[in-house]
Amino acid sequence: MATQFTIPEFENTSLDIIPALASNARGTFRTHKTKALKWRLVQLRKLYWAMEDYKEQLLAALVKDLHKSNFESLIAEVDWVKNDCLFMIANLEDFAKDEKLGAPAVPASFSLMKFRTRKEPLGTVLIIGPYNYPVQLLLAPLVGAIGAGCTAVLKPSEMTPACAMVVRELIEKRLDPNAFAVVNGGIPETNALMAEKWDKIFFTGSAQVGTIIAKKAAETLTPVCLELGGKNPAFVTKNANLALAARRLLWGKTQNAGQVCMSQNYVLIDKDIVPTFIEFLKESYKDMFPNGAKASPDLARIVNPRHFHRIKKMLDETKGKIVMGGQLDESELFIEPTAVLVNSVDDAMMQEESFGPIFAIYPVHSLDQALNIAASIHRTPLSLFSFGSKAENNRVLNEMTSGGATLNDTFFHGSVNSVPFGGVGDSGWGAYRGKASFDVFTHLRTVAETPSWADGLIRVRYMPYDWSRLRQLQRLTAKKPNFDRNGAIVKGFGYWTSLLLGLGGKGIKGAFLRWLFVLASGYATMFVLEKRA
């Protein structure tokens, strides 16, 4: 166990060795050793213990890079990845085993061919991470890649240099160096990596860079999983528990100082409840930061001056009114959790991705108006949050899509490490976490196996074609639709028979239970009548 440590100065990986690192990982995949479940499990166990043994370095690096509190670093970075390892280890055998393909996918007439789905590792993958959760968002995909049996090269964000260096050491020292490598650097290093051939690229970051990655990957038809940002709306109606909505929405902007791509960008709220909502926000602020946000040991800082100025610019440009927070200190890269009451959809606070502790409040007349505004700002955001009645929340879910959604809270859907997480449309392609992390690096390969003795049965396929055999086969296997050309169900003989036999229901299990009930009632009646007689 490492107790004494120093975090090395950030060092770019030499451009010259990048092709060799990629080729080494590719070569190792070709040895097939990563396909053995035993090997994968050992790597996952090693990663688990590396996270534990490097915990102090990781926590210190997260303080250095983001001023992230140990509390948040443990829950959302170190323990998160450890839990990912444990989940994958516990379920790997189940995820990786062949799946038998039977009815209804495989018709009974083909059941001899032993159809199955084999789970194959895609190969050698590239994982590119962002700065906001520099440990979790780089290593959680790696857990999926290891589980799937892939080899991988990782590219941490250069904007969190201390984390990048600790992660590099942790991977290089603890995992199989022939299978996994870390490349540190920025655009030149990423470009050098993109010049290599990968079997999948897993990218988390901005839509702008995601587009560059997807374009480059398209040149070699390399599949990509993109985890991107979004302008996420929150809807608050008169039927919401307003105090709770305010507290939970504020929480969404205090975690990692709002540098969370799934937190709300703006709140669309019924105009009549805006003053009360603002009062509740201020109350929650006081509860969370009794001595002010700047004095809080819990609040992270903005990652660097560039992002500080990006967020500041939104506050400089807004025509709205700051109703909570508003304090900034560049020397500390501090931005106070800030709410801005705006009166135009075109306001910078509505149109730019916040990715920081600031958000807009926009009063609306109705849920109709709110839904129209949200769709006009970003039709496919990464998340949405709805605080209203059950019917209103259902309406929001039904009428507006998003990568994930939480009702009556902020990003709870993204706070559990084993449920699928991903965007939709331009907020992301593909999902990971839990089983989805295994699937995203896995090829589902359908395999059939035709017994030699069955050749006579399937001879109809051979030339010269024999129409009489085909007609015979059709008589035996052809299925008839139970609908007409207008799309209506045809209530023919089959329909009435199955309705009768199923005692008015559809499923076999239900029909069985209903028949059991009928027979038992009949038997009980006969028993009573016999007793009376």
Ligand X SMILES: CC1=C(/C=C/C(C)=C/C=C/C(C)=C/C=C/C=C(C)/C=C/C=C(C)/C=C/C=C(\C)C(=O)O)C(C)(C)CCC1
Ligand Y SMILES: NC(=O)C1=CN([C@@H]2O[C@H](COP(=O)(O)OP(=O)(O)OC[C@H]3O[C@@H](n4cnc5c(N)ncnc54)[C@H](O)[C@@H]3O)[C@@H](O)[C@H]2O)C=CC1
Q: How far is C-alpha 259 from the geometric centre of its chain's CA atoms?
A: 17
Please report, for residues 249, 404, 508, 513, 528, the alpha-carbon distance to residue 521 in angstroms, rounded to integers and kept in the order given. Answer: 56, 48, 20, 12, 11
We find the least distance from the C-beta atom of residue 194 to ligand Y, in angstroms, to be 7
Report what 357 binds from ligand Y, ligand X, none; CB cut-off 5-8 Å by kind: none
Q: How far is C-alpha 428 from the geometric centre of its chain's CA atoms?
A: 9
- The CB density around residue 123, as the number of other CB atoms within 10 Å, is 21
- Residues, the chain, total? 533
We find the least distance from the C-beta atom of residue 322 to ligand Y, in angstroms, to be 23
Stretch that binds ligand Y, among 154-162, 263-271, 290-298, 513-521 (CB under 6 A): 154-162
Q: How far apart are CA 17 and CA 21, in angstroms?
A: 6
We find the least distance from the C-beta atom of residue 252 to ligand X, in angstroms, to be 10
Per-residue string for binding with ligand Y, 370-389, x by CB under 6 A? ------------x-------
81 binds ligand Y (CB under 6 A): no
Please report, for residues 102, 113, 455, the alpha-carbon distance to residue 107 in angstroms, rounded to integers and kept in the order given. Answer: 7, 11, 18
Residue among 47 and 128 whose Cβ is closer to ligand Y: 128
What residue ranges in 371-415 does DSSP mark as E strands? 383-387, 404-407
Pair of tokens at residue 479:
């299925």
We find the least distance from the C-beta atom of residue 422 to ligand X, in angstroms, to be 10
- Asked if 77 is an active-site residue, the reply is no
Handedness of CA 422, 425, 430, 436 (dihedral sign): positive
Given the residues 227, 352, 353, 392, select the one marked as catalytic.
227
Given the residues 261, 352, 353, 392, select the one marked as catalytic.
261
**95-104 long-range contacts, CB within 8 A, separation 24+:** 95/119, 95/147, 95/435, 95/438, 95/439, 96/37, 96/147, 96/149, 96/438, 98/447, 101/446
Please report, for residues 309, 504, 511, 515, 517, the alpha-carbon distance to residue 508 in angstroms, rounded to integers and kept in the order given. Answer: 64, 11, 5, 10, 14
- Asked if 225 is an active-site residue, the reply is no
Stretch that binds ligand Y, among 90-98, 123-131, 447-455, 458-466 (CB under 6 A): 123-131
Helices (H), 382-446: 390-399, 435-440
**Cis peptide leading into 121, omega within 30 of 0?**
no
24 binds ligand X (CB under 6 A): no
Residue among 206 and 372 whose Cβ is closer to ligand Y: 206
212 binds ligand Y (CB under 6 A): yes
Report what 404 binds from ligand Y, ligand X, none; CB cut-off 5-8 Å by kind: none
Report what 228 binds from ligand X, ligand Y, none; CB cut-off 5-8 Å by kind: ligand Y
Q: Name, in order, each residue with C-beta under 8 angstroms of 63's C-beta and a sequence gap of 6 or more.
A: 69, 70, 73
- Footprint of ligand X on residues 375-434 (CB under 6 A)? 414-415
Per-residue string for binding with ligand Y, 274-293, x by CB under 6 A? --------------------
Residue among 144 and 414 whose Cβ is closer to ligand X: 414
We find the least distance from the C-beta atom of residue 480 to ligand Y, in angstroms, to be 47
Contacting residue, 19, 186, 188, 510, with ligand Y by CB under 6 A: 186
Contacting residue, 59, 154, 181, 261, with ligand X by CB under 6 A: 261
Asked if residue 410 lies in contact with residue 249, where contact means CB atoms within 8 angstroms, the answer is yes
Contacting residue, 122, 128, 166, 323, with ligand Y by CB under 6 A: 128
We find the least distance from the C-beta atom of residue 254 to ligand X, in angstroms, to be 11
Q: How far apart are CA 396 and CA 206, in angstroms?
A: 26
Local structure of 353: helix, strand or coil: coil
262 binds ligand X (CB under 6 A): yes
As annotated, the active-site residues are: 227, 261
User: For binding to ligand Y (CB under 6 A), which residues are involved?
Assistant: 128-132, 137, 155, 157-159, 186-187, 190, 204-206, 209, 212, 227-229, 261, 353, 355, 382, 423, 428
User: For binding to ligand X (CB under 6 A), which residues are involved?
Assistant: 75-76, 132-133, 255, 260-262, 414-415
